[in-house]
A and B are shown apart, each in its own frame.
Chain A
Amino acid sequence: MDSFTQRRRRDLILAAILAVIAACVPVFVKDVYVQNIMVLTLMYAALSQAWNILGGYCGQISLGHALYFGLGAYTTALLFTKFGVLPWFGMLGGGVLSALIALALGYPTFRLRGHYFVIATIVIAEIGLLLFHNWDYAGAALGIDIPVRGDSWAKFQFARSKLPFYYFALVFCCVAWFITWWLEDSRWGYWWRAVKDNPDAAESLGVVVFNSKMGAAAVSAFLTAVGGSFYALFVSYIDPESTMTFQFSLLMALPAVLGGIGTLWGPVLGAVILIPMTELTRSFIGGSGRGVDLILYGAVIVLISLARPDGLIGLFSRRPASKGVPQ
Chain B
Amino acid sequence: MSAPLLETPPLLETRGVWQRFGGLIANSDVSISVNAGEIVGLIGPNGAGKSTLFNLIAGARAPTQGSIWFDGKDVTRMPATRRCALGIARTFQVVKSFETMTVIDNVIVGALIRNEKMRDARRKAYEVLDFCGLAPRADKLARELIPSEKRRLEVARALATEPKLLMLDECLTGLTPLEAQSGVALVRKVRESGVSVLMVEHVMEIVMPLVDRAIVLNLGKKLVEGKPADVVRHPEVISAYLGDRHAVGA
Minimum CB–CB distance for A323 against chain B, Å: 6
Interface residues of A in 193-212 (CB under 8 A from B): 193-194, 196-198, 200-208
Instruction: Report the number of A-B residue pairs with Cβ-Cβ less than 8 Å.
Output: 88
**Contact residues in B for A208 (Cβ distance below 8 Å):** 81
A191 within 8 A of B: yes
Of B85, B92, B116, B122, which is within 8 A of A201 by CB?
B92
Q: Given A187-B118, A204-B80, A205-B157, do A325 and B98 touch, yes or no (CB 8 Å)?
A: no
- Whether B100 sits at the interface, judged by CB under 8 Å, is yes
Contact A323 B161 (CB under 8 A): no
A152 at the interface (CB under 8 A from B): no
Nearest CB in chain B to that of A310: its residue: B100
| Nearest opposing residue in chain A for B84, CB measure | A206
The answer to the question of A288 belonging to the interface, with a C-beta cut-off of 8 Å to chain B, is no
Of all chain A residues, the one with the shortest Cβ separation from B160 is: A205
Residues of B80-118 whose CB lies within 8 A of A: 80-81, 84-85, 89-90, 92, 96-102, 104-105, 108-110, 112-113, 116, 118
Whether the pair B92, A204 counts as a contact (CB closer than 8 A) is: yes
- Contacts of A194 on B, CB cut-off 8 Å? 98, 101, 109
Residues in chain A near residue B192, CB distance under 8 A: none
| Partner pick for B109 among A202, A325, A326, CB 8 A cutoff | A202
Contact yes or no, A197 B99, CB < 8 A: yes
A34–B38 alpha-carbon span in the complex (Å): 71
Contact, CB under 8 Å: B126 / A325: yes
Is there contact, CB below 8 Å, between B112 and A198? Answer: no
* A-side contacts of B113, CB under 8 Å: 205-207
Check: A320 CB closer than 8 A to any chain B CB. Answer: yes
A321 within 8 A of B: yes
* Residue A161 at the chain B interface, CB threshold 8 Å: no
B84 touches A204 (CB 8 A): yes
**Contacting A190 at CB < 8 Å: which of B92, B108, B116?**
B108
Q: How far is the CB of B103 from chain A (nearest CB, A)?
A: 10
When C-beta atoms are compared, the residue in chain A nearest to B112 turns out to be A187
B113 CB to nearest chain A CB (Å): 4
Bound together, the chains give a CA A193 to CA B100 distance in angstroms of 8
Q: Is B119 an interface residue (CB 8 A)?
A: yes
Choose among B80, B99, B104 the residue that contacts A203 (Cβ–Cβ < 8 A). Answer: B80
Cross-chain contact of B100 among A187, A197, A320 (Cβ < 8 A): A197
In the complex, the answer to whether A204 meets B109 with C-beta atoms within 8 Å is: no
Given A190-B112, A208-B81, A322-B139, A201-B98 contact (CB < 8 Å): yes
Beta-carbon contact of B118 and A186 below 8 Å: yes
Cβ–Cβ < 8 Å partners of A206 in chain B: 81, 84-85, 110, 112-113, 161
Residues of B within 8 A of A326 (CB): 119, 122-123, 126
Query: Of the candidates A190, A200, A202, A325, which one forms a contact with B123 in the assembled complex, judged by CB atoms under 8 Å apart?
Result: A325
Query: Is A185 engaged at the interface, CB distance under 8 Å to the other chain?
Result: yes
CA distance A326 to B115 in the complex (A): 15
How far does the Cβ of A199 sit from chain B's closest Cβ, in whole Å?
9
Q: A4 CA to B100 CA in the complex, in Å? A: 17
Residues of A within 8 A of B157 (CB): 201, 205
Chain A: minimal CB distance from B187 (Å): 18
How far, in angstroms, from A314 to B101 measured CA to CA in the complex? 15
Cβ-defined contact, B139 with A320, below 8 A: yes
The answer to whether B208 has its CB under 8 Å from any CB of chain A is: no
A55 to chain B, nearest CB (A): 15
Contact B96 A198 (CB under 8 A): yes
Docked-complex contact B109 and A190, CB < 8 angstroms: yes
A190: nearest chain-B partner, CB-CB:
B109
Chain B: CB-nearest residue to A197? B98
Within 8 A of B (CB), among A286-327: 319-323, 325-326
Q: Which residue of A lies closest to B126 (CB)?
A: A325
Query: How long is the Cα–Cα vector from A197 to B101 in the complex, in angstroms?
Result: 8
Within 8 A of B (CB), among A210-237: none
Q: How far is the CB of B152 from chain A (nearest CB, A)?
A: 15
Assess whether A323 is in contact with B138, with CB atoms less than 8 Å apart: yes
Contact A205 B110 (CB under 8 A): yes
B58 at the interface (CB under 8 A from A): yes
Please determine whether B105 and A193 come into contact, CB atoms closer than 8 angstroms: yes
Known A190-B105, A204-B84: A198·B97 in contact at CB below 8 Å: yes
Residues of B198-219 contacting chain A, CB below 8 A: none
Asked whether B158 is an interface residue with its Cβ less than 8 Å from the other chain, the reply is yes
Cα of A74 to Cα of B57 in the assembled complex, Å:
51
Q: A191-B109, A205-B113, A206-B85 are in contact. Are A200 and B92 (CB under 8 A)?
A: yes
State how many angstroms separate the Cβ of B123 from the closest Cβ of chain A.
6
Please give, as numbers and ranges, the residues of chain B lying within 8 Å of A320 by CB-CB distance. Answer: 102, 139
| Distance between Cα atoms of A319 and B140 in the complex (Å) | 9
B199 to chain A, nearest CB (A): 16
Most buried by B among A194, A203, A204, A323: A204
10 A-B residue contacts at CB 8 Å? A187-B121, A203-B80, A204-B89, A204-B92, A205-B112, A206-B84, A206-B112, A207-B113, A320-B139, A326-B119
Known: A198-B96, A205-B89, A205-B113. 9 other contacts (CB 8 A): A193-B98, A194-B109, A197-B97, A198-B97, A198-B98, A205-B158, A208-B81, A322-B139, A326-B126
- Enumerate the 9 nearest inter-chain pairs by beta-carbon distance, A residue then B residue, closest first: A206-B84, A206-B113, A201-B96, A197-B98, A194-B109, A205-B110, A198-B96, A203-B80, A208-B81
